A = this chain, B = another copy of it.
Amino acid sequence: MDPIIYLDHAATTPVDPAVRKAMDPWFAQDFGNPTTLYAHGVRADEAVEGARQTIAHAIGAQRPQEVYFTAGGTESINWALKGIALERVRGHILTSAIEHSAVRETCLWLAERGFELTILPVAHDGVVDPAEVRRALRSDTILVTLMHANNEIGTIEPIEEVGSVLTDSEAAFHVDAVQTVAHLPIDVQQLRCDLLSASGHKLYGPKGTGFLYARSGIRLGPLLHGGGQERELRSGTHNVPGIIGLAKALEVSTRLLETETQQLTALSRRLIDGILERIPGATLNGSTERRLPSNVHFTFENTQGEALVLGLDLAGICVSTGSACSTVSLEPSHVLKAIGLSDEQALASVRFTLGRSTTEEQIDAVLEVLPEEVNRLRAMSPRAL
């Protein structure tokens, strides 16, 4: 491995060694299909059900059967939103202006197909106001979908409070917890959500894995039709190694959660303070209190984000710009615009997301290189700071 400094954990994480080890026997040894009748398959089935229990336990689900395995956060989200909406044919959907594109694009698709969509604004720090949710709620609202924490600016949303607002509503409440499962304590009872989406590769588990929590009794149609796996709701041969890996990753992360939170809080504090101290024209985006411990997001005036990313990359530092999930688009991030940044500011922003392997030395190295790179770009710019 290159001696790189990887500060893009919100984009993806390496698979934890314990996870790899747990997955190992299920590729070529106990490779059976869990829906078969013979012992070889039954073993896989039992392992899958064990994994389901681990996950149910980790998120406070009442029963393991409320956890459904998927191929990732995007699938979980598409399933939750379309599975609720298409089952109800018509109705009103409520979401926020800073959702991940998996939620955003799915909502827009549903809006094209006749559902009514309200997109709530957020405050400058990226926080959704539960009172706004209450005001926007209608008698025909079938679905409210909000993220638990934002993937760009790290703002943690008041999900519990929104959950309380919704207690008397018929609307299903979906939470995109892709950035928080294994990173914040999660209890679906406390969050008062009906559906919750997560993705394995954001929590040191394998790519191509995820789960959807769906409270028993909720009326949800399938997204993938077929062989009837996952209690007729999510067809397709189980990705056994992936499922085992996902559960193991959540298990490991849950165990490390407290220590890691402390470490990340200290390290991100160090990075934030260091930047503010050394770089003029740098503004921290997002909230100071309601923030993921791993997230540092700055606008560096009179620079360009992608240029900073490449500049740092040439120095062996991996960070990201924009939504980090798509480099396809040139347009400034809808999240940054929603919190009030100008296009110019949005395009001059960079996200650093710390993780399990991040060290003080790495942060200090970034604090050496980053000011130089910002200065270099500013010196090239036709504008003054």
One of A60-68, A69-77, A288-296, A374-382 contacting the partner: A69-77
> What CA separation (Å) do A38 and B328 show in the bound complex?
14
Q: Verify A31–B11 contact, CB threshold 8 A.
A: no
**Does A359 sit within 8 A of B, measured CB to CB?**
no
* B residues less than 8 Å from A35 (CB atoms): 324-328
- Name A's interface SS: loop
Q: Verify A328–B228 contact, CB threshold 8 A.
A: yes
* B residues less than 8 Å from A17 (CB atoms): 28
* B residues less than 8 Å from A33 (CB atoms): 8, 11-12, 324-325
Chain A, interface size category, equals 35 or more
Q: Verify B73–A105 contact, CB threshold 8 A.
A: no
Q: How far is the CB of A116 from chain B (nearest CB, A)?
A: 18
Q: Verify A240–B207 contact, CB threshold 8 A.
A: yes
Nearest B residue to A208 via CB reads B239
> What CA separation (Å) do A309 and B28 show in the bound complex?
22
Which 8 pairs across A and B sit closest by C-beta, in order of nearness?
A: A208-B239, A71-B71, A102-B226, A74-B236, A227-B325, A38-B313, A105-B225, A15-B27
**Does A330 sit within 8 A of B, measured CB to CB?**
no
Q: Verify B241–A313 contact, CB threshold 8 A.
A: no
Q: Verify A101–B235 contact, CB threshold 8 A.
A: yes
* B residues less than 8 Å from A32 (CB atoms): 8, 11-12, 318
* B residues less than 8 Å from A240 (CB atoms): 207
